[in-house]
Amino acid sequence: MDPVSHEESAERVPSHGVGPWPGGEQAWPPDERYDPELLRDGDRRNVVDRYRYWRHEAIVADLDDRRHPFHVAIENWQHDLNIGSVVRTANAFLAREVHIVGRRRWNRRGAMVTDRYQHVRHHPDASALATWATGAGLPVIGIDNLPGSVPLETYELPRQCVLVFGQESVGLTDEVREVADATLAIAQYGSTRSINAGAAAAIAMHAWVRQHGDIEAGHDL
């Protein structure tokens, strides 16, 4: 039986990565951030080049120094596969934290192990999320194309905020709508009532990046 867990193997993408550090142990960099095991065996994890051979904790610490002041939250009343994809995108766009509202167990498949690099906080319901957001001084911004939603495309997103997404079948619940400071819709032109929740989350996070992100830094990893 392969001792490598499903999650670990998902992080090690065989066709990617680097082999052992060239030149052997004598040539290893003296920096504490490097992981001797990875230097010896190679680094097959799904991480950007600047983090090659780094210890997991060193990567998280470096991300923590650079995280953006927006948070994302997703409702979890069913085991929606999109949650993993939202977590992965939150990692790519460097959201401060991911919040899961509802059931604690969530489907990690689409996350591709990115949740290991992300701070994930659980809330039993929308009112608990709202209480936490108020304490942290963060407006709650619902994302859904519901009656009364305003266009995301022309909305000035606060630098510090929580973007909340609904689930595939049910969408944003009334409870979240009630606590939201605004609810924003993404423009659509076709026949479908909505786009995939993971795709909507990516669009909304990228809207934040376009308004507040350091675009040059995001192209220089």
Q: For binding to ligand SAM (CB under 6 A), which residues are involved? A: 143-146, 165-168, 171-172, 185-186, 188, 193-195, 197, 200
- Report the alpha-carbon distance of residue 192 to residue 190 in Å, rounded: 6
Find all residues with CB under 8 Å of 90, minimum gap 6, and list them.
72, 98, 114, 118, 201, 205
Q: Which is nearer to ligand SAM, 10 or 195 (CB)?
A: 195
Beta bridge partners of 123: 101
Q: Which is nearer to ligand SAM, 113 or 143 (CB)?
A: 143
Closest distance of CB 171 from ligand SAM, Å: 3
Closest distance of CB 143 from ligand SAM, Å: 5
Closest distance of CB 187 from ligand SAM, Å: 7
Provide the 8-state DSSP code for 199.
H
Q: Which is nearer to ligand SAM, 5 or 188 (CB)?
A: 188
* Segment holding 175, helix H or strand E: helix 174-179
Letter for the amino acid at 210? R
- Report the alpha-carbon distance of residue 92 to residue 26 in Å, rounded: 34
List C-alpha distances in Å: 135 to 29, 62, 132, 162, 213.
43, 26, 5, 13, 25
Which bin fits 185, alpha (ψ -120 to 50), beta or left (φ > 0)? beta
Q: Which is nearer to ligand SAM, 113 or 164 (CB)?
A: 164
Closest distance of CB 59 from ligand SAM, Å: 29
Closest distance of CB 69 from ligand SAM, Å: 21
Q: Which is nearer to ligand SAM, 193 or 219 (CB)?
A: 193
The residue at minimum Cβ distance from ligand SAM is 166
